């Protein structure tokens, strides 16, 4: 428990700042600016997609519907792939958290590695792809613009996104990451990684086997990497965990194969794995030759842990940040379970009432949603279908309610286009 509290005290100020910056980006940067430059299968579109994705605070599941929506709006396969690789690895919140626990060198090399790996993967996917001007199958969103216009309204949106929605999306994984890190620190013997000392390749292969199919949040993976490094894992292998874990998991692989094709999936996986190993090897070489010290912050933290009351010596500000973050996480984790339907993503504020009172609507399950980004993407996809009057999705129970005369098959196709599945439909009574 002491280790978990220590991690929380070190991370909380940077996490709160990162969440706040993420909220500002969400509220003040128009969504259209992320799509209008990505249609050409060119190096420029791939580069822009990677740059757009680096600071975005999207988790490994939330990036999937966002990327699929970009694809439906005309983004090239290479740009979508670059976005899928870069976005889940970093974000303003995880960059600040990386700096707080792992130091400046890791905070720099992590986004740089994500950027270059995503550009490499996206450009490879675009090789041989021809520009398409077919827009018949793109999702046409309703023209209603519900985004707030005043500064006060935008700030309210930013704070809600940062400290409510984002907390709901990654809070569970952040808590799991800190708990796992504490368990590793206390129960994993220091001799476990003796067999891998000096063997960078073996360490990285071990990490890849564990992390690639799993779901790892970019922020939640940080304390796990720190704990493993303290037990003897090389900095390069830790970087592989930070890159491959968030960027590649079973859910994203299945969606990429379904929407972008098997060839794109193979290039996507190979790019992530090869990029992670390449930058992992470079990191260990820099460490071994004394050019960059990736363990300086770790050593200081370890020394602090050796002092009986070291974790109690945190500043009052750190304790206040930790208590604030703990309350926000508690609110998010409890509220998410019992929260009602959210506001419809199509912008119609009366959708909830229409869906609840309708007698000619459809209710069905939407499979594959894990966060508020998923919910919003599902709602937008349903609202885009011809004949839909209103659509709301409840993230907690995975159910959607749609009113109007749209066909079930059209609804199914709209959901599948952004990576979700429609199951168990029935008429409302």
DSSP line for 365-397: EEET--SHHHHHHHHHHHHTSTTEEEEEEETTT
Report pLDDT digits (tens) over 131-156: 443 333 343 343 344 455 788 999 99
Cβ–Cβ under 8 Å, residues 41 and 76? yes
Report d(CA 202, CA 9) in Å as an integer.
Answer: 33
The pLDDT value recorded for residue 58 is 72
DSSP code of residue 344: P
Burial class (CB in 10 A: 0-12, 13-18, 19+), 307: exposed
Domain 351-427: which CATH number of 3.30.70.100, 3.90.550.10, 3.40.50.300, 3.20.140.10: 3.30.70.100
List pLDDT tens digits, range 43-68: 888 998 899 888 887 766 667 767 77
DSSP characters over 193-226: GGGGTT-HHHHHHHHHHHHSSS---TTTHHHHHH
With a cut of 70, list the residues of the chain below it in pLDDT.
1, 3, 7, 18, 31-36, 39, 59-62, 65, 69, 72-73, 128-148, 177, 181, 185, 188-200, 215, 251, 298-314, 335-360, 424-429
CB neighbours of residue 217 within 10 Å: 25
Please give the helix or strand (H or E) that residue 329 lies within, else none. Answer: helix 316-338
Structure tokens at 68: 């699929």
CA distance linking residue 232 with residue 19, whole number of Å:
31
SS3 399: strand
| pLDDT for the residue 221 | 84
192 DSSP β-pair partners: none
Cα 328 to Cα 12, 95, 97, 252: the distances in Å are: 11, 20, 17, 28
Helix ranges (DSSP H) in 63-129: 63-72, 77-86, 92-102, 104-126
pLDDT single digits (tens) 152-203? 999 998 898 888 887 877 777 777 767 776 777 677 666 666 666 656 677 8
Which of 48, 120, 115, 54 is closest to 87 using CA atoms? 54
Q: What whole-number distance in Å separates Cα of residue 319 and Cα of residue 317?
A: 5
Round to whole Å and give the CA distance between 250 and 173. 16
Q: What is the 8-class DSSP label of residue 428?
A: -
**Residue ranges covered by each domain of the chain:** 2-330, 351-427
**What contacts 281, CB < 8 A, 6 or more positions away?**
200, 201, 204, 236
* CA separation for the pair 96, 100 (Å, rounded): 6
Whether residue 80 contacts residue 71, with contact meaning beta carbons closer than 8 Å, is answered with yes
Instruction: Tell me the C-alpha distance between 87 and 246, whole Å.
Output: 9
Is 102 in contact with 283 (CB distance < 8 Å)? no
Residues listed for the chain: 429
Distance CA 90, CA 52 (A): 11
pLDDT of residue 353: 45
CB 33 within 8 A of CB 102: no
Show Cβ contacts of residue 117 under 8 Å, excluding neighbours closer than 6 positions. Answer: 85, 86, 243, 271, 272, 275, 276, 279
């Amino acid at each position: 428990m002491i280790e978990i509290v220590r991690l929380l005290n070190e991370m909380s100020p940077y996490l709160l700042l990162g969440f706040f910056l993420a909220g500002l980006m969400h509220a003040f940067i128009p969504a259209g600016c992320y799509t209008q430059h990505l249609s050409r299968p060119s190096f420029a579109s791939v580069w822009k997609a990677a740059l757009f994705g680096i600071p975005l605070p999207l988790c490994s599941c939330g990036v999937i519907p966002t990327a699929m929506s970009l694809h439906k709006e005309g983004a090239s396969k290479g740009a979508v792939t670059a976005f899928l690789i870069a976005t889940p690895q970093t974000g303003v919140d995880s960059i600040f958290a990386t700096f707080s626990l792992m130091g400046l060198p890791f905070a720099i090399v992590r986004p740089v590695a994500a950027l270059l790996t995503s550009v490499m993967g996206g450009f490879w996917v675009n090789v041989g792809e021809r520009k398409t001007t077919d827009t018949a199958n793109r999702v046409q969103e309703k023209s209603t613009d519900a985004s707030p216009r005043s500064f006060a309204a935008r700030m309210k949106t930013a704070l809600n996104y940062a400290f409510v929605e984002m907390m709901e999306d990654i809070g569970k994984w952040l808590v799991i990451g800190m708990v796992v890190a504490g368990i590793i620190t206390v129960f994993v013997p220091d001799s476990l990684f003796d067999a891998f000392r000096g063997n960078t390749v073996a360490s990285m292969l071990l990490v890849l086997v564990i992390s690639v199919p799993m779901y790892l949040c970019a922020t939640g993976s940080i304390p796990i990497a720190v704990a493993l490094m303290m037990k003897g894992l090389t900095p390069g292998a830790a970087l592989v965990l930070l890159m491959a874990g968030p960027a590649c998991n079973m859910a994203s692989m299945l969606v990429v194969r379904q929407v972008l094709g098997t060839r794109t999936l193979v290039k996507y996986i190979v790019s992530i794995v090869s990029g992670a190993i390449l930058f992992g090897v470079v990191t260990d070489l820099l460490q071994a030759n004394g050019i960059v010290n990736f363990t300086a912050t770790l050593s200081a933290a370890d020394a602090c842990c050796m002092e009986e009351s070291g974790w109690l010596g945190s500043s009052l500000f750190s304790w206040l940040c930790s208590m604030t973050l703990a309350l926000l996480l508690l609110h998010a984790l409890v509220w998410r379970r019992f929260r009602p339907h959210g506001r419809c993503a199509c912008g119609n504020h009366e959708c909830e009432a229409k869906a609840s009172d309708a007698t000619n609507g459809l209710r069905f399950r939407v499979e594959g949603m894990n966060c508020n980004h998923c919910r919003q993407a599902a709602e937008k996809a349903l609202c885009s279908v011809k004949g839909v009057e209103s659509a709301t999705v409840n993230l907690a129970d995975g159910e959607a309610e749609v009113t109007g005369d749209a066909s079930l098959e059209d609804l199914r196709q709209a959901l599948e286009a952004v990576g979700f599945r429609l199951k168990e439909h029935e008429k409302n009574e």
